[in-house]
A and B are shown apart, each in its own frame.
Chain A
Amino acid sequence: MKFFVFHLMPYPYLPGDFAERYGSAWISIPNALYDPKRGHELYNRYLDELEMAEPLGFDGVCVNEHHQNAYGNMPSPNLMAAALARRTSRVKIAVVGNALPLYNPPIRVAEEYAMLDVISGGRLIAGMVIGGGPEYYSYGINPTEARERFAEALELIVKAWTTPGPFPFYGKHYQLRYVNPWPRPLQTPHPPIWIPGVGSLETMELVARNRWAYMGIPYFHIRVFERNFEFFRECAERFGYTADSDQLGWLTPIYVAETDRQAREEFEPHFWYFVKNLLRGLRITPPGYTSLRSLSKILASSGDFLEEVKTWEEVEAGAYAIVGSPATVRDQILHYGKKLGAGNLLGLFQIGSLPGDLTEKNMTLFAREVLPALRRELGP
């Protein structure tokens, strides 16, 4: 199993009455609530936290893209990846991912990812996402075209990396007379492609068909991960092969402290800050953004979404976060890791308003007291 540190770079300073006063942490959340002076400290602190992953022995770091919200302050994850590429030398840098339909023309993604791959010496993992529902409001992109644009942009990007340029590309949504990106990526034929998803059937089929890797987005009951990963493996069989565990990623909040009790006490208030404030609006689904088939599946599992969870007991029962002493966290990751059959663990070691000192302690304890045992048990 490979171990990654995933950061959302959330905004932890929302007012105490935020949930009552504002409907959503997305789209319409007034940006007067953002304080750039604190933002300066935050970005630098969050980057420090990601940079720590290398000396601590993690395999990689992950950043992602979100727009006009307090949940994740990385409208351009590629900027963060560029900073990380210069401050690390060993870890993989996973951008999970660029929201392809939001780029026009999407050849920009092929170019920037190639830059990152070349600068980092071939350490880039190229994540491609459809983009969150709220982002179709924020960027004015027609959600009824989301799937088509995503598929076409992805085709264009992979082709740009694998076909000698220049060549013309005439799609339904993107037309380019000259596709000829400089630079080309360092990894051949191209950087590994990871695609995160919340369980949309079309996305899982697409990923399985192309033998790319699927990252299950967290905040669902563990049984939703199990179902989705099982579906992914079935898809792979239908496409004539057995899925490798490397093709699956389990993204989950993790918190380790000296004892179970201390872990819960330190972690819980910051986690509920996340659930009560930052998750609000994440599930906004604009019309046409998903097929009716996937929507009915998403509706059916909506009770299993973290926003509906009210007590810590439910959090534990659904493994919405892995929290406890080193022994507890180790056992849970072994248990669920085997159950899910995922070869990549993407840990959110910072979430909500978890402050810098606790985040650092969390990562350090995990690396020293949990990681070695996991590597022994789960292999490289």
Chain B
Amino acid sequence: MTLSVRACVVNGRQARYRQDGAGEHLLYLHGIGGDFLWLPFHRALAQEFTVTLPVHPGFGESQDDESAAGMEDLVFHYVDLIDALGLGRVHLIGASFGGWIAAELAVRYPDRIRTLALIDAVGLDVPGAPVAELFLSDPKSLATLLFHDPAHPFARLLAEADPADPSQVSETLRHFKVLSTLARVGWNPYLHNPKLSRLLSRITAPTLILWGEEDRLVPLPHAEAYRKAISGARIERIPACGHLPPVERPLETVSRLLAFYSVEKSSRAF
């Protein structure tokens, strides 16, 4: 089942998003592994929530925004999008690059966040556990960096991509554009904000840190660094899973999230 893409205008620019389900609003900020598409992961969450899945500027169908030169611009973009779509207080999930945006948003607008889930998020510098080189990776090595299971359809798609093949030029250009968007924000300092770890104490929402146990891009010590810095946060590891739990282990990831939400809901009741 494909879900149609909708458009809204945020600060004069077209932004694309998908939305489905019913109940409290859940906002999912995607990463770099194709999770801006409506996947089984989102479909399962939409059984319990109204799920909104926006596409970052410069990714997929969203208009590129060269003026979105930094994390601050992206944070404003999403606060404005939350208002434009009338989402109110949201359950916020961010994966990978989206996890970094979610963390930056949550430290600046804690009141807008009901709960926070960070999934294999970049954003921190952890001495001794560097984030692997993303920008120099060809599609083949990217498949290994992102996926634990090389047989996953997305991993195979990557592994079979050949930038030198003239018939794949449009894919190569799209890949270049996505990485360019990422580089605009995270080239140097490399995929992190040196100030973020000190700011994380400002987060007030109940927080779950979910991590693929075999993440080769953003190694596990990053989960621990987020947990330490966010008051009351706890970690759950997804076994046999790489950098993209929503893509590689969707149902397990959803069940961990739902368990987290139900605990939070019952504690709210008392």
A: residues with CB less than 8 A from B are: 27, 136-137, 140-144, 284-288, 292, 295-296, 299-300, 302
B: residues with CB less than 8 A from A are: 66, 69, 135-136, 163-164, 166, 169, 172-173, 176-177, 179-180, 182-184, 187-188
Whether A287 pairs with B188 at a CB distance below 8 angstroms is no
B136 CB contact (under 8 Å) in A137, A292, A302 = A137
Whether A295 pairs with B176 at a CB distance below 8 angstroms is yes
A279 to chain B, nearest CB (A): 15
Known: A143-B187, A295-B173, A296-B173. A287 touches B166 (CB 8 A): no
Whether A142 pairs with B179 at a CB distance below 8 angstroms is no
Q: How would you classify the secondary structure of chain B's contact residues: helix, strand, loop or mixed?
A: helix
Nearest B residue to A28 by beta-carbon distance?
A: B136
A340 to chain B, nearest CB (A): 26
Give 6 nearest A-B pairs by CB, closest first. A288-B180, A287-B179, A287-B183, A287-B180, A140-B188, A142-B187
Whether B176 pairs with A300 at a CB distance below 8 angstroms is no
Question: Measured between alpha carbons, how far is A300 from B164 in the docked complex, in Å?
Answer: 9
Whether A287 pairs with B176 at a CB distance below 8 angstroms is yes
Question: Measured between alpha carbons, how far is A136 from B135 in the docked complex, in Å?
Answer: 11
Whether A292 pairs with B177 at a CB distance below 8 angstroms is yes
Interface centre among A140, A141, A288, A292 (most CB of B within 10 A): A288
Nearest A residue to B134 by beta-carbon distance?
A: A287
Whether B188 pairs with A286 at a CB distance below 8 angstroms is no
Question: Measured between alpha carbons, how far is A141 from B183 in the docked complex, in Å?
Answer: 10
* 22 cross-chain CB contacts under 8 A: A142-B184, A142-B187, A143-B187, A144-B66, A144-B183, A285-B176, A286-B135, A286-B183, A287-B135, A287-B183, A287-B187, A288-B179, A288-B180, A288-B184, A292-B177, A295-B173, A295-B176, A296-B169, A296-B173, A299-B163, A299-B169, A299-B172
Question: Measured between alpha carbons, how far is A287 from B173 in the docked complex, in Å?
Answer: 10
Q: What are the residues of chain A within 8 A of B184 when measuring CB–CB?
A: 142, 144, 288
Q: What are the residues of chain A within 8 A of B69 when measuring CB–CB?
A: 144
Q: What are the residues of chain B within 8 A of A292 when measuring CB–CB?
A: 173, 176-177
Known: A140-B188, A302-B164. A288 touches B183 (CB 8 A): yes
Q: What are the residues of chain B within 8 A of A288 when measuring CB–CB?
A: 179-180, 183-184
Q: What are the residues of chain A within 8 A of B182 when measuring CB–CB?
A: 287
Known: A144-B180, A292-B173, A292-B176. A284 touches B136 (CB 8 A): yes
A163 to chain B, nearest CB (A): 29
Q: What are the residues of chain A within 8 A of B164 when measuring CB–CB?
A: 302
Whether A142 pairs with B177 at a CB distance below 8 angstroms is no
B108 to chain A, nearest CB (A): 23
Interface centre among A143, A284, A286, A287 (most CB of B within 10 A): A287
B28 to chain A, nearest CB (A): 24
